[in-house]
Structure 1
Amino acid sequence: MMHDAAPAYGLWSLVIVNSAVFILFAYTFFKPQTSRDWRSFGAFSAFLVALFVEMYGFPLTIYFLSGWLQSRYPNIDWFSHDAGHLLEMVFGWKTNPHAGPFHVLSFILIGAGFLLIAAAWRVLYDAQQTRSLATSGPYSYVRHPQYVGFVLVMFGFLLQWPTILTLAMFPVLTVMYVKLARDEEQDARAEFGDAYAKYAAEVPAFIPHLGRLLGRNTPRDYRHG
């Protein structure tokens, strides 16, 4: 059975510190400027706060599911911190859950998401300074790499520490990002016209073409046809 000597929850200082650190970390990568940017960043921040409240503050998901979990997995102390890694526990990972496959994959997705957001912001910032179309770097693979990055980070956290609230928030926020992306595309079409139409015809919105990922084709300069 799992028993932690230290308290697993009620650690509200850790909720505040972790929320602040990750929100500031995301801010340095994303650097929101427009109202649309702030909406997407605010929704992402709310997701992080909800996550860390359950991770260190109050385990609402474990509380609701405790009866079912205890009956199905009686040898686990479900109110220990390690048990919050639900996927590792349910699939029978017997050692430290922080070294479990879902936890490791979550770190890969979270890191990849933040790197994608950062790389995309640099390209977008340079394009904004010259009032040109962003088509290089991550923008040569997908038209909305920053939103893809946010989704990767959120999905990574879901694998690491799934909760009822964040599971409910994830599809809502994903749909919101898709809508924001469509709104941005309308603005881009109005500003860049045929150049953006050609770019959108060849570069997918969110999921890159396999051939492009494997380097089988190279990006064009859509700004000049």
Structure 2
Amino acid sequence: MTHTDYGYGLWGLALVNAAVFILFAFSFFKPATKRDWRSFGAFSAFIIALFAEMYGFPLTIFVLSGWLQSHFPGIDWWSHDAGHLLEMMFGWRVNPHFGPFHIASFVLIGAGFWLISAGWAPLHAAQRAHKLATTGIYAKVRHPQYVGFILVMLGFLLQWPTLLTLAMFPVLVVMYFRLAWTEEKTALAEFGESYRDYMRRVPAFIPRCKRAPAGPASLQVSAADKPVRGVSELDAPKR
């Protein structure tokens, strides 16, 4: 690749960007069980695959180069800006960083990382008090951190879609849904009716427009005999 505008081969930049996003997510998610580590590892693989194509080698453009050049002949597909495929394909010929898909991606990524970080404070407080986390963002959704990871990945897909990340995205979404269901079984076994009432009042992933009526005081039931991981991010019992 000797094109003068070839904007790739920056493997150091790819490594730094991937490390920053992975470490930021790790600082708030804090995986503990094997299941957590598998989920976080899959998210990390998504981020690595993304930045490897963004700054290293444009595998997607290489594979689709014939189709892209025949359908969009006026674009230099080996320039870095052309990696913003949606802007290019929908006719945004100005700076792609100010395109509609790129701006929407920043909104989704920012919202996703905000959910991941917002879920940590009430979760940590509940762990120390040995009770369910039902305040803050947990009063709106039961699994804010998983929703956050999904929004971050969706935002990156809008900004820089690749064949690998497009294939990985639905697999990761299913993984987070299954992890949430498994954790809820653990919560029901540990907190019983208190958690069941919480499930009736608070949706799992998408917040309701109207506020649900408050549940009984039993939601604050103590469980001092067992360390609590929180509402949605409960760890499976260690064997």
Unaligned runs of 5+ in 2: 222-239
Pair 1:37–1:126, CA change in 2 (3 A): farther
Q: In structure 1, what is the equivalent of residue 190 of structure 2?
A: 191
Asked if structure 2 preserves the Cα contact closer than 8 Å seen for 1:199 and 1:222, the reply is no
Asked if structure 2 preserves the Cα contact closer than 8 Å seen for 1:29 and 1:114, the reply is no
Q: In structure 2, what is the equivalent of residue 171 of structure 1?
A: 170
2:210 counterpart SS class: helix
Q: How does 1:21-170 map to 2 (within 5 A)?
A: 21-170=20-169
Runs of 4+ in 1 over 3 A off after TM superposition: 4-7, 217-222
Asked if structure 1 preserves the Cα contact closer than 8 Å seen for 2:8 and 2:80, the reply is yes
Cα offset, 1:59, TM superposition:
0.8
2:12 counterpart SS class: helix
Counterpart-to-counterpart distance in 2, 1:66 and 1:10: 18
Counterpart-to-counterpart distance in 2, 1:218 and 1:83: 50
1:65 counterpart SS class: helix
Cα offset, 1:27, TM superposition:
1.5
Letter in 2 for 1:31: K
Pair 1:104–1:222, CA change in 2 (3 A): farther
Cα offset, 1:5, TM superposition:
4.7
Compare the two structures and name the one with the higher helix fraction.
1
Counterpart-to-counterpart distance in 2, 1:136 and 1:101: 35
Counterpart-to-counterpart distance in 1, 2:202 and 2:143: 10
Cα deviation code 1:156-178 (max 9, x no counterpart): 00000000100000000000000
Letter in 2 for 1:22: F
Counterpart-to-counterpart distance in 1, 2:94 and 2:71: 19
Unaligned runs of 5+ in 1: none
Pair 1:56–1:224, CA change in 2 (3 A): closer
TM-score calculated relative to the size of structure 1: 0.91
Asked if structure 1 preserves the Cα contact closer than 8 Å seen for 2:5 and 2:79, the reply is no
Count the aligned residue pairs.
218
Asked if structure 2 preserves the Cα contact closer than 8 Å seen for 1:110 and 1:154, the reply is yes
Cα offset, 1:218, TM superposition:
6.3
Cα deviation code 1:31-75 (max 9, x no counterpart): 223333322221111100000011111111111111111111101
Asked if structure 1 preserves the Cα contact closer than 8 Å seen for 2:5 and 2:78, the reply is no
Cα offset, 1:219, TM superposition:
5.1
CA RMSD of aligned residues (A): 1.7
Cα offset, 1:101, TM superposition:
0.7
Counterpart-to-counterpart distance in 1, 2:35 and 2:153: 19
